[in-house]
Structure 1
Amino acid sequence: MPDHHALAPLRRVSTDILEVAYYEAGPTEGDTVLLLHGFPYDIHSYAEVVPLLADSGFRVVVPHLRGHGPTRFLSGTTPRSGQQAALGADVIALMDALGMPRAYLAGYDWGGRAANVAAALWPERVLGLVSVNSYLIQDIAAAAEPLDPEREAGFWYFYYFLTERGRAGLARDPQEVARVIWKRNSPKWPFRERDLERAARSFANPDYTDVVLHSYRHRLGFAPGAAPYARLEARLAELPPITVPAVTLDGLADGNFPATDGSSTARHFTGPRLHHTVADAGHNLPQERPEAFAAAVRDVRDLRQEHAARDRPTGRRRDTT
């Protein structure tokens, strides 16, 4: 049976270290939005979001993140890092390769973190941000602080991936690892077997295991960062604010990340911000509630335009007498 929601065919472009495989849709002259997927998911989290945004006038670009799908490292000597600075730097490098001066960034999980990093460190490149679960820059210095036991149980794979047993398990059966995580992350999402199988095809990337393990080992302080990202990680350790217009989302049925009213992360957003909760949505919010995610992208465009109009000079002559 043909998959009418497949994001194909893919295009490819080279950055300084990657050949990035990506899907593109929409008018070339429209505002661009990059849609960034999470782990353990793939670009098809956005299969139903893409046409909604293309119809709203956006140029839509959906890349496979490093270690996923056909995206490949150009050199065998490049560290297979999954740390947050690497993910954020990849976003800017992709924009450079595509000749894209500025764009909206939207994502969840790993993709949301990449978007947060790019927005915080390169705000001049980011028109606006949509982020599921709000502020996602990791406070690695606080990684040893425990969460409540219920949430720790949901993050079992963080600790599994610290071990060589976890490496072997992920390498042997990434699809079943993803199944367990999907169920916990989104208890109300009745995903189909073909949804999981399609996403799992992107896990066949030869660098998938190394990138995933480094991501979790680094964030918990069990692996050093790659040297090329040391300066960026030092800046991220300061938990820099998001100054660009932002719309943040929480799914009310997220099994691992309890929904909030946004106030707990408000200090990290110093630009205009809206926060929404989404009924019946779990962690993979764009695939579970595509219309809500697409609406958030339209909202951040409106928020930017409203903010720009408010700051624009009126052109009226000032009376100085």
Structure 2
Amino acid sequence: MHTITANGLEFGYLAEGPPDGPLALCLHGFPDSAHTWRHLLPELAAAGYRAVAPFMRGYAPTSVPEDGAYQTGALGADANALHEALGGGPDAVLIGHDWGAAATYAALAQQPDRWRRAVTLALPPIPVVAAGFLSYEQLRRSFYIFVFQTPLAEMALNRAFVEGLWRDWSPGYDAAEDVRHVMDCLATPANIAAVVGYYRAMLDPSRHVPAYEAAQAAADKADKADKAGRPPVLYLHGVDDGCLSVETAGGATGPLEHLPPGSRVELVEGAGHFLHLERPGEVNAHVLGWLT
């Protein structure tokens, strides 16, 4: 475990690979931790990258932001600030799963020159999700988002709840180790409130912190103008994803309209939401092939 200060926060992070290698920043989602990249980090390191997996803002041991900023603009700013703090160059690459994917889209829109290529998993650009989100099946899968808007959210987000999400989202996968890591990240009431805060900021713009106004504006336009100036993205989605169905995610072509030129989409058979843990060999091959 290492620590570094970036964007006013102290981030805990895991790292493998040569200190002078190109930066590969790996961002986790919910309900997850930096340990989710335990299969990919050594592969990136073997390919010569300095592979770094931070714990996202509010997830212990990373500090809880005093300003309560959890909007995507702040998440993207974190990624770019970590690039700076870690001494990344224009050859750096960015990889994000779930909320980490949202942070990746925002970071690329805010400061595209920092990154050479990117990979996102399990969350396509927001317009793709929005097109199918209101179907009954997807609303049923997304019940937790609405639970998190209520005063009961902090009480609901316990071990049993986390175990249930992993069971539903990646059927058949043994998530015991991952759940232990998640609960370590939710060590205090402040950490739990932070994790819930991501979802409250997602649906309630009044929770956006004005200090990130410009960063948020860029993040909100991530699928629109000047995509030609952004690095290409490999998007990966598990066919059996129980959180965001492959149909809602746009299948094999839907995300491409909202990604930069030269991007690609790959569907991973026999994998759910945490596809990089369920099918690490196949996902790692996709990632390394794309980056190299």
TM-score normalized with structure 1 length: 0.81
Q: Which of residues 57, 82, 86 is equivalent to 1:98?
A: 86
**Aligned twin of 2:74:** 86
Q: Which of residues 32, 39, 61 is equivalent to 2:52?
A: 61
Quick check: 2:128–2:255 contact (8 Å CA) kept in 1? no
Alignment of 1:206-217 (within 5 A): 207-217=190-200
Quick check: 1:44–1:199 contact (8 Å CA) kept in 2? no
**Aligned twin of 1:7:** none
Quick check: 1:13–1:21 contact (8 Å CA) kept in 2? yes
Alignment of 1:275-314 (within 5 A): 275-302=265-292
Q: Give the Cα separation in 1 of the matches to 2:151 and 2:189.
A: 17
Q: Aligned-pair distance for 1:270?
A: 2.6
Instruction: Please give the secondary structure, in 2, of the residue aligned with 1:12.
Output: strand
Instruction: Please give the secondary structure, in 1, of the residue aligned with 2:32.
Output: coil
**Aligned twin of 1:6:** none
CA 1:151–1:63 in 2, change beyond 3 Å: closer, same or farther?
Answer: same
1:122 and 2:141 matched: no
Q: Aligned-pair distance for 1:138?
A: 6.8
Q: Aligned-pair distance for 1:167?
A: 2.6
Instruction: Please give the secondary structure, in 2, of the residue aligned with 1:129.
Output: strand
1:149 and 2:163 matched: no
Q: Give the Cα separation in 1 of the matches to 2:190 and 2:114.
A: 28
Q: Which 10-residue stretch deviates more, 253-262 or 42-51?
A: 253-262
Instruction: Please give the secondary structure, in 2, of the residue aligned with 1:163.
Output: coil
CA 1:90–1:207 in 2, change beyond 3 Å: closer, same or farther?
Answer: farther
Q: Which has the larger Rg?
A: 1
Instruction: Please give the secondary structure, in 1, of the residue aligned with 2:179.
Output: helix
Q: Aligned-pair distance for 1:286?
A: 1.6
Unaligned ranges ≥5, structure 2: none
RMSD value over aligned CA atoms?
A: 2.3
Quick check: 1:189–1:281 contact (8 Å CA) kept in 2? no
Q: Aligned-pair distance for 1:146?
A: 5.5
Over the matched positions of the two proteins, sequence identity in percent amounts to 30
1:200 and 2:188 matched: no
Quick check: 2:128–2:254 contact (8 Å CA) kept in 1? no
> Residue deviations 1:192-217, cap 9 Å, x none?
x3332233211115532222222112
**Aligned twin of 2:149:** 162
CA 1:55–1:207 in 2, change beyond 3 Å: closer, same or farther?
Answer: same
1:180 and 2:168 matched: no
TM-score normalized with structure 2 length: 0.89
Q: Aligned-pair distance for 1:139?
A: 9.0
Q: Which 10-residue stretch deviates more, 151-160 or 130-139?
A: 130-139
Quick check: 2:4–2:12 contact (8 Å CA) kept in 1? yes
Instruction: Please give the secondary structure, in 1, of the residue aligned with 2:177.
Output: helix
Amino acid at match of 2:172: K
Q: Give the Cα separation in 1 of the matches to 2:84 and 2:106.
A: 16
Unaligned ranges ≥5, structure 1: 1-9, 303-321
Q: Aligned-pair distance for 1:70?
A: 0.7
Quick check: 1:167–1:213 contact (8 Å CA) kept in 2? yes
Q: Give the Cα separation in 2 of the matches to 1:62 and 1:295.
A: 19
Q: Aligned-pair distance for 1:181?
A: 1.2
**Aligned twin of 2:3:** 12
CA 1:94–1:137 in 2, change beyond 3 Å: closer, same or farther?
Answer: farther
